[in-house]
């Protein structure tokens, strides 16, 4: 058996292999953050294609936490009902359905990428006032956020916990907390974006406090059986920003708070960061966190070749590989990759005539 084909057990859930669909916004929600037939087709296709873990796009825990008006949410029973047929179809293919719970912070209320407009969405166009650690927008053409006070912070933590309860009710078997890419939780722990002087700013402990409170609340909400993953930006790629050293200590604290796997991405807090893009460019971050924090990790970012993914897992650089754009191009990449590596992937009965 190849390393990529080995099951991965996280608490009471076993992933059938080490390949995951990375969270990718589809900007196709209708109404008030409700997933649609597009989400059913998109996510189920990757489950049929053989990915062991299927992560949804960043799914907001409150309406004002959406990146755009077309993002999905999970803050009401109506959202639970809309997600249920999607999770059921994913699970029926043998994959594990998981939701990425998110709050976009000061990056909220923006136009989706394929809209004609750019920047912040005005109230008249369906937008809203975002929130953040302070009152400065991410970039000049984004909405100016309202700085969260203690009551607002408490409400964010409670919203993540409630969304986690809804997630389990909707049929999700794992939950990922989105604490990366310049969204709210990352905004708080990065020194580039958090200039507060209260208990949620200043020191390293103050800046990481909100993310740790959220993870503790999510862990309590889902119980002991459900895996909790956390996506972090393991470096800001900017002088004076968050570093890989910070991420090692953060991963230790996140594990103590109840996280089972750290999904290591990077960047997002500085629009001018110089990121050294290239095949597997974030894998060293995953390897460093896994080795020094002694926690399971996921590697993501320009992983495209079966042999590349196999080596990442076989060499102990990560416990899981997450593919984004490559799975947009080829939903069946996992089954093709496992076959190329010498495994015998199971194909759905409906497709056996092709093999």
Structure token pair of residue 59: 């799914």
CA dihedral 135, 140, 142, 146 (to 10 degrees): 10
**Residue 48 CA to its chain's centroid (Å):** 21
- Assessment of whether the complete model's pTM goes beyond 0.85: yes
Question: 351 catalytic, yes or no?
Answer: no
Give Cβ neighbours of residue 121 (< 8 Å, ≥ 6 apart): 68, 69, 109, 110, 111, 127, 128, 143
Nearest to 91 by CA among 172, 7, 6, 176: 172
Query: pLDDT tens track of the chain, all 355 residues?
Result: 799 999 999 999 999 999 999 999 999 999 899 999 999 999 999 999 999 999 999 999 999 999 999 999 999 999 999 999 999 999 999 999 999 999 999 999 999 999 999 999 999 999 999 999 999 999 999 999 999 999 999 999 999 999 999 999 999 999 999 999 999 999 999 999 999 999 999 999 999 999 999 999 999 999 999 999 999 999 999 999 999 999 999 999 999 999 999 999 999 999 999 999 999 999 999 999 999 999 999 999 999 999 999 999 999 999 999 999 999 999 999 999 999 999 987 888 898 888 7
| Residue 177 confidence (pLDDT) | 98
Point out the catalytic residue in the list 27, 142, 166, 183: 183
| Residue 1 confidence (pLDDT) | 74
| Residue 347 confidence (pLDDT) | 85
14, 33, 56, 63, 138 from 104: Cα distances, Å: 30, 14, 15, 10, 11
How deeply is 253 buried, as exposed, middle or buried, from its count of CB atoms within 10 A (0-12, 13-18, 19+)?
middle
Nearest to 66 by CA among 124, 129, 20, 155: 129
Give Cβ neighbours of residue 29 (< 8 Å, ≥ 6 apart): 35, 36, 39, 70, 71, 72, 73
| Residue 104 confidence (pLDDT) | 98
| Residue 309 confidence (pLDDT) | 98
Q: What angle do CA 171, 87, 213 make, to 5 degrees?
A: 55
List the domain boundaries for the chain.
3-354
| Residue 345 confidence (pLDDT) | 79
Instruction: Look up the CATH number of domain 3-354.
Output: 3.20.20.70
| Residue 77 confidence (pLDDT) | 98
């Amino acid at each position: 058996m190849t390393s990529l084909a080995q099951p991965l057990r996280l608490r009471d859930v076993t992933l059938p292999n080490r390949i995951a669909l990375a969270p990718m916004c589809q900007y196709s929600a209708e109404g008030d953050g409700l997933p649609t037939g597009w989400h059913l087709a998109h996510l189920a296709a990757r489950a049929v294609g053989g990915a062991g873990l299927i992560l949804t796009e960043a799914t907001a825990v409150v309406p004002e936490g959406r990146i755009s008006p077309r993002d999905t949410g999970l803050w009401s029973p109506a959202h639970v009902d809309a997600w249920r047929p999607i999770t059921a179809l994913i699970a029926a293919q043998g994959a594990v359905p998981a939701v990425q719970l998110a709050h976009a912070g000061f990056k909220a209320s923006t136009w989706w990428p394929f809209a004609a407009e750019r920047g912040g969405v005005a109230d008249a166009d369906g937008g809203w006032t975002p929130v953040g650690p302070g009152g400065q927008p991410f970039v000049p053409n984004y909405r100016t956020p309202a700085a969260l006070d203690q009551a607002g912070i408490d409400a964010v933590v409670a919203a993540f916990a409630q969304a986690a309860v809804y997630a389990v009710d909707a049929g999700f078997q794992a939950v990922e907390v989105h604490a990366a890419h310049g969204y709210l939780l990352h905004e708080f722990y990065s020194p580039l974006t958090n200039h507060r002087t209260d208990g949620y700013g200043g020191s390293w402990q103050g800046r990481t406090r909100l993310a740790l409170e959220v993870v503790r609340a999510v862990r309590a909400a889902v119980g002991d059986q459900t895996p909790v993953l956390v996506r972090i930006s393991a470096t800001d790629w900017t002088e004076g920003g968050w570093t890989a050293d910070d991420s090692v200590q953060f991963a230790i604290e996140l594990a103590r708070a109840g996280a089972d796997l750290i999904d290591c991405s990077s960047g997002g807090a500085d629009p001018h960061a110089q990121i050294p893009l290239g095949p597997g460019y974030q894998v060293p971050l995953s390897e460093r966190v896994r080795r020094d924090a002694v926690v399971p990790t996921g590697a993501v970012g320009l992983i495209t070749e079966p042999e590349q993914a196999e080596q990442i897992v076989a060499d102990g650089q990560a416990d899981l590989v997450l593919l984004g754009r490559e799975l947009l191009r080829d939903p069946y990449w996992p089954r093709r990759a496992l076959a190329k590596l010498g495994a015998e992937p199971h194909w759905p009965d409906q497709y056996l005539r092709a093999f």
